[in-house]
Structures are given as structure tokens and as C-alpha cells.
Amino acid sequence: MRDTAIVPVASAPVPLIDLQAQRARIGARIEAAIKRVLDHGAYIMGPEVFEVERRLAALSGAQHVISCSNGTSAMVMALMAWDVGRGDAVFVPSFTFTATAEVAAIVGATPAFVDVLPDTFNMDPDSLARAIAVAEQTGLKPRVVIPVDLFGQPADHDAIRMIADKHDLFILDDAAQSFGASYKGKMLGSLADITATSFYPSKPLGCYGDGGAVFTNNEDWAKKLTQVRVHGQGRDRNETVRIGLTARFDSIQAAVLLEKLSIFESECEARQKIAARYDAGLKGAVTTPYVRPDCTSVWAQYTVSSPRRDRIVAALSAKQIATAQFYAKPIHLQTPYRGFPVAGGGLFVTERLAQEVVSLPMHPYLAPDIQDEIIATVRAAVA
């Protein structure tokens, strides 16, 4: 979910995500928060960083929250804390942002690709079982599954847990797009063994730069994650206990995030209303997003599918309304990932969705008249 099109573009009157509209609401508070950091001068691991971790723990119900430099390093930290590496298989959907597969390759493990379900676009548990069989046949050791909670909606965590337990896999949840969503009444962050999220600016909860966090209820992993975050540091900087990274969250970004957290709930409610309005307006014209009745979505994206996707994109683009095709080319078809294993039975849903999906403008400040114009334009394009 990273594309230049998702950052407000001056020449596009209707951007996919409008961060300036949010800034008009809380810009003065954010500037004051940044100034406080400039005044106290604790740019690295300042009080805002610890306050963010406390607030995220309270919100998610996770016992340990370790903030970090971005969502990709959050996942790398988890794999490093579990000593995942050469000879290990890490199961990932192919219909996701590149980072989900990239982190497996970064630690020297093998990403193994799994298909998604046609309704939620999230990992298909049956395809996961088939991918595990393929990995075993090729001599890899199944170690980790990374379900992605795509576009804001949780994957089917119970079904994935059943398969993971059977094969002794860790579950690392890629909640980069979905922090704030819930599954069967539980917030993401406390469901998987470790959950990773991103605070990239366009995420539902984003800062003004890069940022991320990991969540876990396991004390031992929390300790290792904290060590990996800062060069594998032990009791103090004179002791190195493991190979690590430099992956801290900046105090300035934490200060921005604290202000964003204060409006997060109301922004999530606004996104729900906008999604409901899209659902009502677009039903019958395109396939609108399906949210399971036992889940909530934070609507990082509002993604529809249609065999007439290209006509929708052209019609909206003619009116300078931004769209994005998350994900027009699945990861297993991208050059660096072509040699990695794929679930038995293929990734047919992934490959079809890649041809048909289009994400429409979605943010808490989308005005009803603009939304109506988007709806009317989409309907006319597919008529």
C-alpha cells in the first residue's frame, strides 16, 4: 500500500488520502508537540516514545508494545527475535505490499506464497495448508506464517491459528494497514504471537514520517525485540547479546502520533460512515468490500473489484480523482520473487484480483458531494 498516488498530489483535486485535511484539524497541536521535543532535546527514546507505547498497549490490550522505525523493521525484528533464517519457510500472501515477503528474504529465510480468499482478500487457510506441504516437500522447515489484515480488515485468525498450531508455526501478524480493527471482539495486537504495524503517513494511524510497532503478550520475545531494536544491546551499551538493528522510533514522530491518537477513534468512525455510503452507492455496479460480521475494518483502503476496472480508472482519472491498484502485480510474479515456492493449486484468486481491483479515495475527511461524484462516475463507467 505504498505508492506516490497515496500522498496528496497538488495536481489531483481529489487525492486518495488527504493528510492536509487532517492537518487543518490538529495542525496547531502537532506543531506545539514537535516544539516540545525540540525544547527538551531528547530526540532519541524521549518521553513521547514511552508514552506512545503505553497508549498503544492500553488500546490494543497487548501486554508489551515496542515502537520502532517502520512496519518493515517491525516484522524483521520479530523474525530476528525468533532466530528465523536459512532453511526456514515463511508463509505469506502474494496479494499484499512487497514488505510482507521482503522481510522473510531479508533474514535469509524463504518466502512461500499463499493464495487469498475472493471475498475478504485475506489469506486462504486451505491454500496455507497446501503451501506448507509444498515447503516440506522442498526440504524447508515451516517456521512462521504472516497473515496480512489487508486494507484494514483482520484475516481469519482462528482458522490460521488451527493450522499454525498443527505445524508448530509462529504467527506474525502484518497489521500495517489495520491497527485499530477487531476480530471477534478483540483488537489486533493481542491475537497473533507477535503483531507488527506501520505508522507510515497514509496508514489509518500514521505519523509524519516513518514509524512502526510490535505487540506481544510474551515477555521473553518482548525482551528480545527490545534488544534487536537497538543493535542487540543487553543490560547497557557495553553488552551486545544478539545481532540487532538500529530501528528506534523517533521522539518527534512519537509526538505527532500522540496527537493523532487523540482523534483516532473519531477518524475510524468517520471512515465507517464513508465506507457505508460507498457500499450503498456502489452495490450492484461493482463488487464492494466484504467485511465479516465478526470483524471490524479500519478502512485503510476502500477497494472494489470489477472486470471493467480499467474503465473505472480512466473515468475517475479524467475527472482528476485519484485511484490506486493495490495490487496490480502480485509479489510472486515480481522479478526478485519468481523463484520462491507457491502453494499447490496456484494463486488463481490473487492473479484474478490483480486484474480487477481498484482502490477509491478513502479518508475521514472525504466530503459527501465528492463521494457522490465518485460513486456516479464509477456507476457510469461500468454501465
Ligand X SMILES: Cc1ncc(COP(=O)(O)O)c(C=O)c1O
Where along the sequence are the contacts to ligand X (CB under 6 A)?
A: 1-2, 70-72, 96-97, 99-100, 148, 174, 176-177, 198, 200, 210, 212
CA distances from 103 to 111, 172, 174, 278 (A): 9, 11, 11, 34
Which residue in the shown chain puts its C-beta closest to ligand X? 71
Q: Which residue lies nearer to ligand X by CB, 71 or 285? A: 71
Query: Which residue lies nearer to ligand X by CB, 177 or 323?
Result: 177
Cβ distance to ligand X smaller for residue 34 or 150? 150
CB of 148 to ligand X, least distance (A): 5
Least distance from ligand X to the Cβ atom of residue 354, Å: 15
* Smaller CB separation from ligand X, 81 or 205: 205
Residue in the structure block whose three cell numbers are 502484518: 174
* Nearer residue to ligand X within complex by CB, 125 or 211: 211
Smallest distance, Å, CB 143 to ligand X?
19
Comparison of 8 and 378: residue with beta carbon closer to ligand X: 8
Minimum CB–partner distance for residue 146 and ligand X (Å)? 9
Are 342 and 113 spatial neighbours (Cβ–Cβ below 8 Å)?
A: yes
Q: What's the closest the beta carbon of residue 370 comes to ligand X, in angstroms? A: 25
Residues in the chain: 383
C-alpha closest to that of 300 among 11, 9, 17: 17
- In degrees and rounded to multiples of 5, residue 146 shows phi and psi of -115, 90
SS3 63: coil
Q: How far is CA 180 from CA 56, 86, 210, 245, in A?
A: 10, 34, 18, 27
Write the CB contacts of 283 (distance below 8 Å, at least 6 apart in sequence). none
Task: Provide, rounded to whole angstroms, the least separation between the CB of residue 324 and ligand X.
Answer: 12
Whole-number Å distance between alpha carbons of 288 and 281: 10
